[in-house]
């Protein structure tokens, strides 16, 4: 096998259903169809013919997605099975063996693994904790060369929740333009900003831009498995060729529901529910962090469904996560999954009572661990 194990996904898949409290989720508590849809819409779903539909996405669905971006129409969009398929197809469409890719780190590490599998070279530029997770753009400039085919951004960022300023976006564009590189921006968390002000997409800011989006995070609908790619028509056409080999098409029911979800009224209802949840849970999380004195160092996210923090305990992050899971049946994501020991990630898009019950178990575990480590 020629592809590295995607630790972050694999470790969650193995353990998330074995614990009482899973705090590794990276999105919001998901909706049911009944909560979301009207009687008429539910009936429409029941009566839909389960054909393939249109393999690059139903036209009204692509139109609804295109409306989220400046100067785009359905030809600029392809619907995929989750944002993860969009990432896979994007890499295969844009990259060839030997290319260099410079990627924002920390990040959802899927693209890093795909780049390695394709015989390309991944290089990192970092978000700096010492700068409230601002990107080190001097490092990006240094890492970019004439061999750089793609600069990979995650905005809003998984796991820090950092969002780029307009000036930072422009500087990234300038750096990409200096070598003719593409910008690939993972924007699956767009819409989950804590202040309710949606950040700009990279679409429309530079010619060589491809972005993803999807319903798994900001929209709390991961089970629909809907993601998409938005970019120049020719590139989207090329990406479609790869899609024919990966999954042919996203499901027709999911396509239909996506069209409804993205209509302004329903979209607003979903994003508002999630934002309220996030703001409330962040408040409890900050109180929880404070209750532990200087055990944690936490820079609150500006967007997204998670809290990423450093801890001051002499214990490796995977060991800490394993210990809490085995002894307390609460699961937190080890910083090791991001190559960052002494950090962990908590999902703060859960329902409040669930989150607080999980924190209580982490508290009990930490108390025992501190006594064990001191003794």
Ligand X SMILES: Cc1ncc(COP(=O)(O)O)c(C=O)c1O
Residue 264 DSSP SS3? helix
Q: Is 230 in the site for ligand X (CB under 6 A)?
A: no
Nearer to ligand X, 84 or 143 (CB): 84
* Beta carbons of 364 and 354 less than 8 angstroms apart: no
Q: Which is nearer to ligand X, 76 or 84 (CB)?
A: 84
Provide the Cα torsion 190, 195, 197, 203; round to 10°: -30
Integer angstrom CA distances of residue 126 from 8, 303, 333: 19, 18, 20
**Which of these segments, 82-90, 95-103, 279-287, 361-369, binds ligand X (CB under 6 A)?**
82-90
| The only residue of 135, 161, 213, 214 in contact with ligand X, by rule CB under 6 A | 214
Is residue 22 close enough to count as binding ligand X by CB under 6 A?
no
154 binds ligand X (CB under 6 A): yes
- CA-derived radius of gyration, the chain: 21
User: Per CB under 6 A, does 220 bind ligand X?
Assistant: no
Write the interaction track for ligand X spanning residues 106-125; mark x where CB under 6 A is met and - where it is not.
--x-----------------
Nearer residue to ligand X within complex by CB, 186 or 259: 186
Instruction: Count the helices and strands in the chain (H runs, E runs).
Output: 13, 14
186 binds ligand X (CB under 6 A): yes
Of 53, 57, 82, 347, the one binding ligand X (CB under 6 A) is: 82
* Helix extents (H) in 47-97: 59-66, 82-94
CA neighbor of 369 nearest in space, from 309, 324, 317: 324
Q: Is 301 a binder of ligand X (CB under 6 A)?
A: no
Measured CA to CA in angstroms, residue 276 lies from 187, 269, 305, 306 at distances of 20, 11, 12, 14
In the bound complex, what is the minimum distance in angstroms from residue 362's beta carbon to ligand X?
21
Q: Verify binding: residue 193, ligand X, rule CB under 6 A.
A: no
- Under the rule (CB under 6 A), what is the footprint of ligand X? 26, 82-84, 108, 154, 158, 186, 188, 214, 216, 222, 227
């Amino acid at each position: 096998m020629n592809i590295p194990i995607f630790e972050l996904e694999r470790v969650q898949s193995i353990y998330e259903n074995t614990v009482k409290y899973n705090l590794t989720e990276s999105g919001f508590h998901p909706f049911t169809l009944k909560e979301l849809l009207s009687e008429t819409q539910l009936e429409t779903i029941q009566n839909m013919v389960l054909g393939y539909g249109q393999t690059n996405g139903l036209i009204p669905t692509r139109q609804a997605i295109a409306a989220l971006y400046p100067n785009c129409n359905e030809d600029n969009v392809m619907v995929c099975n989750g944002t993860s398929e969009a990432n896979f197809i994007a890499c295969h469409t844009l990259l060839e063996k030997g290319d260099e890719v410079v990627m924002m780190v920390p990040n959802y590490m899927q693209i890093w693994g795909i780049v390695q599998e394709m015989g390309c070279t991944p290089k990192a530029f970092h978000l700096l904790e010492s700068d409230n997770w601002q990107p080190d753009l001097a490092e990006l400039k240094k890492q970019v060369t004439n061999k750089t085919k793609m600069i990979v951004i995650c905005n809003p960022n998984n796991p820090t929740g950092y969002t780029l300023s307009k000036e930072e976006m422009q500087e990234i564009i300038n750096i990409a333009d200096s070598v003719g590189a593409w910008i690939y921006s993972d924007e699956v968390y767009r819409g989950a900003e804590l202040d309710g002000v949606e950040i700009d997409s990279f679409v429309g800011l530079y010619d060589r831009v491809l972005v993803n989006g999807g319903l798994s995070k900001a929209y709390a609908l991961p089970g629909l498995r809907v993601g998409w790619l938005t970019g120049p028509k020719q590139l989207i056409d090329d990406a479609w060729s790869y899609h024919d080999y990966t999954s042919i098409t996203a499901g027709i029911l999911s396509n239909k529901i996506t069209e409804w979800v993205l209509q302004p009224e329903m979209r607003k209802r979903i994003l508002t529910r999630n934002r309220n949840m996030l703001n409330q849970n962040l408040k409890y999380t900050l109180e929880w962090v404070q209750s532990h004195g200087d055990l944690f160092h936490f820079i609150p996210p500006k967007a997204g469904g998670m809290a990423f923090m450093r801890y001051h305990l002499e214990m490796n992050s995977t060991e800490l996560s394993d210990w809490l899971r085995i002894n307390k049946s609460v699961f937190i994501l080890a910083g090791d999954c991001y190559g960052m020991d002494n950090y962990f990630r908590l999902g703060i898009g859960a329902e409040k009572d669930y989150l607080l019950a999980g924190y209580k178990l982490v508290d009990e575990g930490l108390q025992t661990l501190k006594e064990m480590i001191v003794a």
